[in-house]
Structure 1
Amino acid sequence: MLPLLLAVALLSFIGNVSASYAFYVGKALTQDGSVLIGGTGEEVSSHWLEIFPAKDHPANATITVGVTKDASMPGQRMNISQAPHTFRYLSMEYSDFEGFPAPITNGGVNEKGVAVRDVWVQNRDELVAMTPNPQTGLQYSDLARVVLERASTAREGVELIGKLIAEHGYADYGGNSHLIADANEGWVVLEMSGGKKLWAAERLGDDEVRVLYPGYIEDFPVDFANNTNYAGSSDIVSFAIEQGWWNPNGTEPFNIFKAYCVQGERYSARDGGFKYMSQGALENTTRAMAPVTEKDLMERVRDYRISDDEAGYGQVVSLHADMDPDLIRIWVAPTGSVTAPFNPWWLGVKSVPPEYGQHRYLTKDAASTFLDPDFQYQEATHFAGRIFKQTLYYTCSDPEAFLPIVQKMLHGFENASFGDLEWVERSAQTLVENGQREDALDLLTFYSLSRAEKALALGRTMVDALDAYVKLTGQFRMPAGSHINDPGLGAETVNCLVGFDPDQPAEQQKISRRRFRNQR
């Protein structure tokens, strides 16, 4: 068990950072030879599923990017040119982060089979202090969305980010990164705070596992311009030298994390202790599962050491070569997957049920405004995000008793979906090959919406059952305080973590959790 003071310090740090995490598994380590991508977003915000169609745009079309004066690091919005054509893509959208203008995205997957994940990075204080006020440029969501709209390969996505930052700048909240992948490779891109247009990127190999929490790049060649496995702004090395953040005459190689990211003895790229399980430990655990399947990666994404009330949703996608754009499949959990099922969606699906669309629950300004009449029918429906949040809160009230039962039900539901995949996708592929693409899309839409409806019914059943059990057994308790919102630093996030060392034997976990409850 971690010492109590260290546990509180971890909680304090976590409570002060809204984040996201991402998994990359190279194709040499997966069961079917695909590249696997997984992760979630961690924002105090409403999350909803949305499919964006491909579009053609007039020659003078523009998009608005950047942040406003209301952002945590104030900025000024600007218009940049839109591409003549943008691709179809699927994404989980959300309504607020650090005051950035909605809708916001961490990423998703597009019709070219390019997947994007956005992941936080905390840059060193000196770099953050250099940021101009107001700042201008594309922010992290803008970059993720532009990659989804325009990139045909992962490498194209990296080049696009570099080009846009060079032309327009980068507006941020203290540093950021993106994981971009296709069926052949993955890339980690770090965008630096400070308004200096600094960025760096590293290619991920076929036999590599990378977990970003936060995003990181370590050793980086000083002659990266001549190395196809790296990319970056032309001054990414020289700027660090000028600032005294790396000594070219010393014995240590140039390291992006050490030069540009948060400084301190307990912070390192792979073992920073930013969550209950380090990036390095998660990488090792994932690698040990090889050959990794979609099911395996779902278990990593819903690992209760990282999936809690902060997890706004879960995503897992496998990227294969020569995928039919409409048959690209992505699994999405409507909120934290520790107590919510992954549902299968295909990029060719024609619609999203209203229960999985945008609702007022956790939407910015919902408490200070009335409902727009345009949304009255959608708002009248149940909201998947809210229902599975209820499941989380009841489950985490006694995780030793409830978590195994809830997750067995989730596994059973997902296994049923996996059992149907072969005939669903074979049927859709046959229809496409016979010139009946619209019928194939109707089939995929019918199946996805049917599973989404059944998932919602499962969630309501679990909430009702847990509600009855907790109340009938006298376990329900009214809140002792008057503040419904997390007070901030030092507050405990609702989670299903049993003690602070999940690898302990079951009896020791019980003792640890009781001790923590008594001490806080």
Structure 2
Amino acid sequence: MKISHLTSSMLLVLPLFVPSHSAWASYAFYVGNNLTQDQGVLVGGTGEEVSSHWLEIVPAADHEPGSMIEVGVTEAAYLPGQLVEIPQVAHTFRYLSMSYSDYEGFPAPLTNGGVNEHQVAVRDVWATNREELIDMTPSPQRGPQYSDLARLVLERASSAREGVELIGELIAKHGYSTYGGNTHLIADPDEGWVVWEFAGGQGLWAAERLGSDDVRVLYPGYIEEFPLDYQQNPDFMGSDNLVTFAEEQGWFDSQGNETFNIFDIYGRQDTQARTGGYKYMTQAALEKATEEMAPVTEQEMMVRVRDHRITDDEAGYGQVISLKQGVNADLVRIWVAPTGSVAAPFLPWWLGVQQVPLEFGQHRYLTKGTASNFLNPDFQIQEASDFAGRRFKQVMYLMCEKPAAYRPKVTEMLKGFEQESFDDMTWVEGSARTLIDQGQRENARAMLTFYANSRAEEAMDLGETLVDWLYASLKLTSGLRRPESEQINDPGGETVNCLVDADPDKPQDAQ
């Protein structure tokens, strides 16, 4: 195990070892609407999985009575489970998410969340529990898992509070399948909630409200002080047995106490909630850096999500969204970087967009099972297109070979590309709003689709230019380094990052 430590400024930590049964992590950022420039709730985050990621805009749908959906995990999961069916609702909402293909025993496609037509945004974040809880998880376990819950909230919730209540109801009725504990950040234009679902098969969960003056960064997810009378407190929710179970296990004594610390009782016992480590900035440091930006803009949130101390080869994509009152469903906008945003531009997408470019759809690069199967002919044209995820991975790998020389220049170009998009937002969204007001909703959707697809194509051109420049620069200056090992897959050490010599304390910019 690598031992974590804080510098004197308490900003940086060395990474802790993540057990093999922990999910690939993911970050989530929340900034309340009193601390943002446009008075919208800001949500940002990354998806941190090995596998391929692709963009999906899922339309609203009506379902026949008696329709069922499959949820849960298989016997291949670290904590083995059994897939089960639960009832589908009559109507599901439109939503946007990034999907991915692989987490052992968790059926694809998986999602960390996204945003729906009611401006309910969801981020999924790992949050491992104490070993005693993990050990008592039934085998096989049954019930929805983290991706199922994120998707069901997007499909069914019209507010963040409804999303929390939905998770509680689903766990109570159908159980919960886990890899060892998980959190969800759920937000809308008024508030946010951190929901922590616990291993153990006891139906345990807890939720804390985040308000207009709050900043929260989850990595891992955490909840700390929690009132004993939480069921009478509008800022907290949880399962009925949340306190009594801890008392039965000897983990907590309510005598003389008015609160208890969720992390201390149910979280990992070898680390701390906000300063326990993982990657190179603690949650405390990231929260402080975000607070210092107030009033925070979408572009400043992109800076936080893009920070090279947290965004590396593990970051499958980046997301930033501002949730504001009174936005038409077609104009709900989310910025998405197609892979780690340290090497890729954030692109604007709206729920009114009718078609995702082939380059941003699913491809075989890093998709589970591709080494053992030939291509489905139905995908042959999509697969023949360039893949955004692959293109910007190339940028990352080349740029991070000499990060002090290349990262500042690449970042400058990515921000310049994003500024062009921001400069267009007034006329693009104003025009779409005018068309909708005039009863021309389909024309508004067509315009949003054309603009979003055009910017996506221009991003691919930018990526190609960056790859050509970086490759040529390396070849003509230091030469193209060849591998010295025989194993192309990482054996469990440091992944590709843009820290100089993988050291967060070294000067990062070229002199």
The normalised TM-score by structure 1 is: 0.94
Tell me the CA shift for residue 15 of structure 1: 8.0
Instruction: Decide whether the 8 Å contact of 2:53 with 2:99 is kept in 1.
Output: yes
Q: Partner residue of 2:133? A: 127
Q: Partner residue of 2:199? A: 193
Q: Which has the larger displacement, 494-503 or 137-146?
A: 494-503
Q: Partner residue of 1:230? A: 236
Question: Kindly, what percent of the aligned residue pairs are identical?
Answer: 64
Q: Partner residue of 2:499? A: 497
Deviation per residue, 1:381-440 (Å, 9 max, x gap)? 000000100100011111000000100110010000000000000000001001111110
Q: Partner residue of 2:417? A: 413
Q: Partner residue of 1:31? A: 37
The amino acid of 1:30's aligned partner reads: T
Q: Partner residue of 2:456? A: 452
Q: Could you tell me how far apart the structure 1 residues matched to 2:277 and 2:155 are?
A: 35
Return the match for 2:106 from 79, 84, 100: 100
Query: SS of the counterpart of 1:291?
Result: coil
Matched, 1:66 2:68: no
Q: Partner residue of 1:468? A: 472
Instruction: Decide whether the 8 Å contact of 1:90 with 1:347 is kept in 2.
Output: yes
Tell me the CA shift for residue 249 of structure 1: 3.2
Instruction: Decide whether the 8 Å contact of 1:44 with 1:96 is kept in 2.
Output: yes
Instruction: Decide whether the 8 Å contact of 1:27 with 1:36 is kept in 2.
Output: yes
Deviation per residue, 1:155-178 (Å, 9 max, x gap)? 000000000000000001000000
The amino acid of 2:338's aligned partner reads: P
Instruction: Decide whether the 8 Å contact of 1:309 with 1:493 is kept in 2.
Output: yes
Q: Partner residue of 1:516? A: none
Q: Could you tell me how far apart the structure 2 residues matched to 1:227 and 1:5 are?
A: 37
Equivalences for residues 339-358 of structure 1 within 5 A:
339-358=343-362
The amino acid of 2:433's aligned partner reads: Q
Return the match for 1:336 from 320, 333, 340: 340
Matched, 1:209 2:211: no
Instruction: Decide whether the 8 Å contact of 1:11 with 1:492 is kept in 2.
Output: no
Query: SS of the counterpart of 2:420?
Result: helix
Q: Which has the larger displacement, 238-247 or 281-290?
A: 238-247
Return the match for 2:95 from 89, 95, 112: 89
Matched, 1:375 2:379: yes
Q: Could you tell me how far apart the structure 2 residues matched to 1:395 and 1:6 are?
A: 28
Matched, 1:75 2:77: no
* RMSD of equivalent CA atoms: 1.9
Q: Could you tell me how far apart the structure 1 residues matched to 2:18 and 2:4 are?
A: 15
Instruction: Decide whether the 8 Å contact of 2:15 with 2:277 is kept in 1.
Output: no
Deviation per residue, 1:33-70 (Å, 9 max, x gap)? 00000001101111000010000001110100000111
Tell me the CA shift for residue 255 of structure 1: 0.5
Matched, 1:303 2:307: yes
Query: SS of the counterpart of 2:70?
Result: strand
Return the match for 1:363 from 367, 371, 377: 367
Q: Partner residue of 2:245? A: 239
Q: Could you tell me how far apart the structure 2 residues matched to 1:14 and 1:243 are?
A: 26
Instruction: Decide whether the 8 Å contact of 2:4 with 2:277 is kept in 1.
Output: no
Q: Could you tell me how far apart the structure 2 residues matched to 1:434 and 1:107 are?
A: 33
Tell me the CA shift for residue 474 of structure 1: 3.3
Return the match for 1:136 from 142, 161, 168: 142
The amino acid of 1:385's aligned partner reads: G
Unaligned runs of 5+ in 2: 8-12
Q: Could you tell me how far apart the structure 2 residues matched to 1:367 and 1:389 are?
A: 19
Matched, 1:40 2:46: yes
Q: Could you tell me how far apart the structure 2 residues matched to 1:204 and 1:374 are?
A: 45
Q: Could you tell me how far apart the structure 2 residues matched to 1:492 and 1:434 are?
A: 55
Q: Partner residue of 1:514? A: none
How many correspondences in the alignment? Answer: 503
Distance 1:205 1:504, change over 3 A: farther
Q: Could you tell me how far apart the structure 1 residues matched to 2:66 and 2:55 are?
A: 30
Tell me the CA shift for residue 469 of structure 1: 1.0
Distance 1:11 1:26, change over 3 A: closer
Distance 1:121 1:506, change over 3 A: closer
Q: Partner residue of 1:482? A: 486
Unaligned runs of 5+ in 1: 511-520
Q: Could you tell me how far apart the structure 1 residues matched to 2:339 and 2:104 are?
A: 20
The amino acid of 2:435's aligned partner reads: L
Matched, 1:184 2:215: no
Matched, 1:50 2:52: no
Distance 1:198 1:313, change over 3 A: same
Tell me the CA shift for residue 486 of structure 1: 0.7
Tell me the CA shift for residue 247 of structure 1: 2.3
Distance 1:294 1:503, change over 3 A: farther
Instruction: Decide whether the 8 Å contact of 1:35 with 1:183 is kept in 2.
Output: yes
Instruction: Decide whether the 8 Å contact of 2:365 with 2:390 is kept in 1.
Output: yes
